[in-house]
Amino acid sequence: MTTAAPKPDDKKLDLARVTDTEHFLVYTKAVPYPRLSASVSEVRFLIRLLQAICSIASLVGMWIATYKSSFTSATQGASGLNAACFTSISSTFVALSCMFMYAFPATLGVPPHRHWCFSRVEVCIDLVWTIMWFATSIRLAVYGRCPQEAIIQIANGQFIVVDESMSSCFAWPFSTAAGFCAGALMFLILCMGIADLQRQARLVSAESHTHIMFARGNWRTT
């Protein structure tokens, strides 16, 4: 009398020897969207907030240099003021857009397990604006020249010379300093993005060898 061979116990399966695609480990994602309070307290959100503040501060300094001081159009053009204005305005929109994406990922259709990751597009944008910030700030620092005196017409039709070295010349260094701060913050988050892309590449490599997916939050087996 012969007996049937016992079936192998699946629970005792040696997972170290499982390499074919028929033995994938199936996981169910339990990754809810983070709360708004958690998203706005992340380091990258706070860095973007500081970027927006520095960009606006630099723009305010350039506005003072344009409309509140007696700088000539030749002086403004040679200093790269127009390029700096474009950089500050566009950088503000970049920072605000990223902050909105971090705070409201569901609105933009970002999956929960991808919410905390940097994308290649975001890293490329940070690289471009890092270069733009340092280029425009260096040009403002080198070519920006504050007039030491201005000719103002008084009520009786006469002209007087007014020393402006202390009253309005703070616009150049203020705008330049804010621009360098914005560039440094952009470079900081660029480094964070590059490090995150490298981490994602390592996880993808690990997934291809172990057939196990990685994501933020808790996972439960099914």
Q: How many domains does the chain have?
A: 1
Please check whether residue 20 lies inside any domain of the structure: no
Please check whether residue 179 lies inside any domain of the structure: yes
Please check whether residue 18 lies inside any domain of the structure: no
Please check whether residue 19 lies inside any domain of the structure: no
Q: Supply the range of the domain harboring residue 180.
A: 33-221
* Distance separating the N- and C-terminal Cα atoms of the chain: 39
pTM over 0.75: no
Please check whether residue 9 lies inside any domain of the structure: no
- Cβ contacts of 219 within 8 Å, gap of 6 or more: 27, 28, 29, 30
Please check whether residue 138 lies inside any domain of the structure: yes
Residue type, 37: S
Instruction: Print the SS3 string covering 139-180.
Output: HHHHHCCCCCEEEEECCCCCEEEEECCCCCCCHHHHHHHHHH
- Chain length of the chain: 222
pLDDT tens digit sequence for 17-29: 544 444 444 444 4
Percentage, residues of the chain above pLDDT 70: 61
Please check whether residue 106 lies inside any domain of the structure: yes
